[in-house]
């Protein structure tokens, strides 16, 4: 098994089941032209997010980590006309690229990008009464994964779905001595999920154009008071 073979399989699957269109292609091109890091979700992973939102019947989505808005487009397209998506992005330059991509895709009336550190923005969302969100996608800096998951619980309801990206870290997640903050933060998130009675969750490994990684998918099964 090699990266080249993983890429070939991904191209085959994507070509048949998640082909690119003008807006998605333009979003990636604009992100590349602006110098954004090439770390957007793969097309088949974007399609998975889209399907999860549709299966969930989501009307409200919260995304942590917008980058150029590629995953945001996939998620926003799953929402009804009166749906709402709020995406949080730390870097103002990235946020501007994402806003342009969303406008080009005709989704700027559905999806809103807010800038600033997510741990500063999330309390403001709670104070606004922005939730509960039907689906939360966490794909921001990994060192804060546990804190992001805690806020996701505050901003959801029983029945909501929470997805966390990049949770395997090329297998490094199994090494408690790994010095990386990304691994430490993701391990803290897993430990939190394992003892959190409000969540029913699983995680799985993925291989493909994004290398070796994985996703956590959780369902909120009860509220803070056990309801």
pLDDT in tens, 121-145: 999 999 999 989 999 999 999 999 9
Q: What is the mean pLDDT of residues 53-77?
A: 98
Do 121 and 127 touch, CB atoms closer than 8 A?
Answer: no
CA 23/CA 162 separation, integer angstroms: 26
Residue 151 lies inside a defined structural domain of this protein: yes
Residue 227 lies inside a defined structural domain of this protein: no
Residue 125 lies inside a defined structural domain of this protein: yes
- Burial-class residue 198 by CB neighbours within 10 Å (0-12, 13-18, 19+): middle
Do 65 and 139 touch, CB atoms closer than 8 A?
Answer: yes
What is the per-residue pLDDT for 222? 83
Q: What is the mean pLDDT of residues 90-110?
A: 98
What is the per-residue pLDDT for 41? 97
Asked whether the predicted pLDDT for residue 225 surpasses 70, the reply is no
Asked whether the predicted pLDDT for residue 42 surpasses 70, the reply is yes
Residue 141 lies inside a defined structural domain of this protein: yes
How many other β-carbons are positioned within 10 Å of the β-carbon of residue 72? Answer: 33
Do 137 and 71 touch, CB atoms closer than 8 A?
Answer: yes
Q: Which domain holds residue 41?
A: 3-220
Structure token digits, residue 225: 């008071």
Considering the chain, what is the average pLDDT of its residues? 96
What CATH number did the domain enclosing 69 receive? 3.40.50.150
CA 158/CA 73 separation, integer angstroms: 26
Q: What would the pLDDT profile of 182-220 be if each residue is shown by its tens digit?
A: 999 999 999 999 999 999 999 999 999 999 999 999 999
The sign of the torsion formed by the CA atoms of 44, 69, 149, 57 equals negative
Residue 120 lies inside a defined structural domain of this protein: yes
Which residues have C-beta within 8 Å of that of residue 187, sequence separation ≥ 6?
173, 176
Residue 226 lies inside a defined structural domain of this protein: no
Q: What is the mean pLDDT of residues 9-13?
A: 97
Bridge partners of 207, per DSSP, are 212
Number of domains in the chain: 1
CA 154/CA 126 separation, integer angstroms: 8
**For 57-91, where are the alpha helices, taking DSSP H only?**
70-76
pTM value? Answer: 0.96
The sign of the torsion formed by the CA atoms of 37, 38, 39, 43 equals positive
Bridge partners of 61, per DSSP, are 85, 135
Asked whether the predicted pLDDT for residue 227 surpasses 70, the reply is no
Q: What percent of the chain has pLDDT over 70?
A: 98
Residue 82 lies inside a defined structural domain of this protein: yes
Residue 128 lies inside a defined structural domain of this protein: yes
Q: What is the mean pLDDT of residues 104-119?
A: 97
């Amino acid at each position: 098994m090699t990266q080249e073979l993983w890429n070939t399989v991904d191209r085959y699957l994507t070509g048949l089941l998640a082909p690119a269109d003008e807006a998605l292609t333009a979003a990636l091109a604009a992100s590349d032209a602006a110098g954004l890091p090439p770390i957007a979700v793969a097309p088949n992973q974007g399609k998975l997010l889209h399907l999860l939102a549709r299966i969930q019947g989501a009307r409200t989505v919260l995304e942590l980590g917008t980058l150029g808005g590629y995953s945001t487009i996939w998620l926003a397209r799953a929402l009804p006309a009166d749906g709402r998506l709020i995406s949080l992005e730390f870097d103002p330059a990235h946020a501007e690229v994402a806003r342009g991509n969303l406008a080009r895709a005709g989704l700027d009336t559905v999806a809103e990008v807010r800038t600033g550190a997510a741990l500063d923005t999330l309390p403001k969302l709670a104070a606004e009464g922005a939730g509960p969100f039907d689906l939360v996608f966490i794909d921001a800096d990994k060192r804060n994964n546990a804190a992001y998951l805690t806020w996701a619980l505050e901003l959801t309801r029983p029945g909501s779905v929470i997805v966390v990206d990049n949770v395997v870290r090329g297998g490094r997640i199994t090494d408690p001595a790994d010095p990386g903050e990304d691994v430490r933060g993701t391990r803290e998130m897993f430990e939190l999920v394992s003892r959190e009675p409000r969540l029913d969750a699983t995680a799985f490994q993925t291989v493909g154009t994004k290398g070796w990684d994985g996703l956590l998918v959780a369902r909120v099964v009860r509220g803070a008071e056990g309801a």
